[in-house]
Chain A
Amino acid sequence: MTRSTVSGAAAASRSRRSRALGRLIFLGPGLTYLIVLLLIPLALVLSYTLFRRGRFGGVVYEATGENFTRLFDPLYLDVILSSLRLATIATVIALLVGYPTAYLIAMLPRKWKTVALVAIVLPFWTNFLVRIYAWIVLLSGPGLVNSTLGELGLGPFEFLYNQGTIVTGLVYSYLPLMVLPLYAAIEKLDPQLREASANLGARPARTFVSVTLPLTLPGVVTGCLFVFVPSFGNFIIPELLGGGRSIMVGNLIRDQFLKARDWPFGSTLALALIAVLIVLLLLQAWSARRA
């Protein structure tokens, strides 16, 4: 009697141990990857924020808080704020363009849906840099758009190297990331809910505001996050389409590391960027839980 309970307990603990082992085997590769390639470098970079810069890059291990006070220097604060602004504008435009697109795709007959979705992700098959260069070719002084307008007796216009071009580039690059989660949310919505709304006397606009939009809100939040996050920290698009000035925080960080050789301050800027994104992710998690 006693023996059997004891051996039962032993068997239970053995099976618990083997289950833990099984978990470790599956988690192992992913965990190793995260620790070696993400957490350790991240911890290193974050630790730099507390020290002084070395003369030719690197850090001098002398504790200081001045990196953080520098963040609030209007010079840098402006860059952070303008990054926020550009990323927000790009996100809003992507939402305004992406929602109707996703809606239309969700309403297509099944076989056309697949075609449309493939078309949406098609740009990802080409290298990102090449696609951004293509915009330069299109929009530059003697580029395709200006020469076409020239034929009509207009222009030439200076399309490139301003904030509008950056927003255009961001929207263009990340629009698919807006459309896909929106499509998933709209597609999942029971079409009978829309019919029920109409049946109860709601005009189509009212049905959209009261039924479709609230029920696809998780998709909206996810899509906005997918566009905002890579836009906010982007440095390639502002570099190529924005004329290379440090307009966005991504460029600033890159410049701190590569040009100014101020690793500690670059790290501090990176920390600020991560902090903003974490706050957004928490907001998203909170809104998803409420839905």
Chain B
Amino acid sequence: MLQITGVSRRFGDVTALADVSLEIRQGEFFALLGPSGCGKTTLLRILAGFESPDSGAVTLDGEDLLGRPAHRRPVNLMFQSYALFPHMTVAKNVAYGLEREKLPKAEVRSRVAEVLEKVGLTSMAGRRPQQLSGGQRQRVALARAIVKRPRLLLLDEPLSALDKKVRAEMQLELKRLQHEVGITFVVVTHDQEEAMSLADRIAVFSAGQVEQVDAPVALYERPRTPFVAGFVGANNLFSGRACSVGLAADGLGVLPGSSDLPDGTPALLAVRPERLRLDGGQNGEGVLKGEVADVSFYGGVSHVSVTVPGRAEPVLAATQGATPIRAGARVSLSWAAGDGVLVPQ
């Protein structure tokens, strides 16, 4: 439905977007994930028409989007800072977009009421934005954007200004809303957990480039670039060269992994902490042996960091619940070959 082809944008000597191509499907909840400053906002601003790319093309339903002025695009943006009109009430803010469509007054009123109901702000209709909490403002911004029933809704870090608890609630609400209204959502975030929990597909950005586009599970289990392996979720990364049974790691010997990379290719082996098995004592026939440096208990899981001779950073293992292992214990670490993912370097 939305086709982005070879879009580039530079600001002076900063490359905000470098040859970005993406295809976003009808009705999809799509996330753009990447660290701060990697060009996510710039891409949304290009889609909304506030910025134009140096090169590249964007089509929506096969029609060129870049040639249209911002106010004539069937695309609504929910701003990172919400950008609510401070001199208008909540209801006026939400009605603003509909009034521009010259709809009959009665229809505007009923649609505003309907959408305020949907986001749970009916009782706030007469308030000004300054009189609302962060979570309420965020919902006004959302209501204002969806009331237009756009083909495409862009959300720029919609939840980043909220505290953790409200954020979790709003994530669920966003997802429910997207189901209900059936609009294609493109949400920008730098929070990988948020992207994972919300999106049908995720595009991971780094320094203006698309690293990988995949469903959350595939992204987590099969990272295809070192950046994705390091950025999405916690990972233990070992560098070395691919070999038939996994990776010949620098200074650690052969580590099990599965790959279709040609032997000798420089590669990273990525193993998730929760896929590592920890065995106490010296006798285990683990892949790596080391000493426990630290144990931290997080309630549901415990993180055990293990110093392994020949490796600078500790190896991180996650276990279910509390663990009897204490700092200073000698342990061996092992994992199934299928849990070691090889990523070309």
Contact = CB atoms under 8 A, between A and B. Distances in A.
B205 interface: no
A215 B128 CA distance: 14
B278 to A, nearest CB: 50
B100 interface: yes
B291 to A, nearest CB: 53
Given A203-B71, A206-B100, 12 more contacts: A190-B81, A190-B83, A195-B70, A196-B79, A198-B69, A198-B70, A199-B48, A200-B97, A200-B144, A201-B72, A201-B148, A215-B87
A192 interface: yes
B96 interface: yes
Contact of B79 (A192, A202, A215, A291): A192
Contacts of A195: 48, 50, 70, 77, 79, 83
B83 A196 contact: yes
B142 to A, nearest CB: 13
A192 B83 contact: yes
A211 B85 contact: yes
B193 to A, nearest CB: 27
A199 B77 contact: yes
Contacts of B96: 197, 200, 202, 210
A202 B50 CA distance: 14
| Interface SS of chain A | helix
B223 interface: no
A211 B76 CA distance: 18
A198 B87 contact: no
A214 interface: yes
B260 interface: no
A193 interface: yes
Contact of A202 (B71, B76, B83, B84): B71
Q: Interface centre among A192, A199, A291, by most B CB within 10 Å?
A: A199
Nearest 4 interchain pairs by C-beta: A200-B97, A201-B100, A196-B83, A192-B83
Given A192-B83, A193-B85, A196-B83, A201 B50 contact: no
19 contacts: A190-B83, A193-B83, A193-B85, A195-B77, A195-B83, A196-B77, A196-B79, A197-B85, A198-B49, A198-B70, A199-B75, A200-B96, A200-B100, A200-B148, A201-B71, A201-B72, A201-B101, A203-B71, A204-B71
B86 interface: yes
Contacts of B101: 201
Contacts of B83: 190, 192-193, 195-196
B186 to A, nearest CB: 14
Interface in B55-86: 69-73, 75-77, 79, 81, 83-86
Interface string B97-116: 10011000000000000000
Contacts of A215: 86-87
B328 to A, nearest CB: 54
B209 to A, nearest CB: 26
Nearest to A199: B77
A196 to B, nearest CB: 4
A197 B83 CA distance: 9
A201 B76 CA distance: 9
A174 B107 CA distance: 48
Nearest to B86: A215
A192 B100 contact: no
Interface string B34-65: 00000000000000111000000000000000
A215 B75 CA distance: 25
A274 B32 CA distance: 62
Contacts of A210: 96
Interface string A185-222: 00000101101111111111010001100110000000
A290 to B, nearest CB: 10
Nearest to B92: A210
Given A201-B100, A203-B71, A196 B85 contact: yes
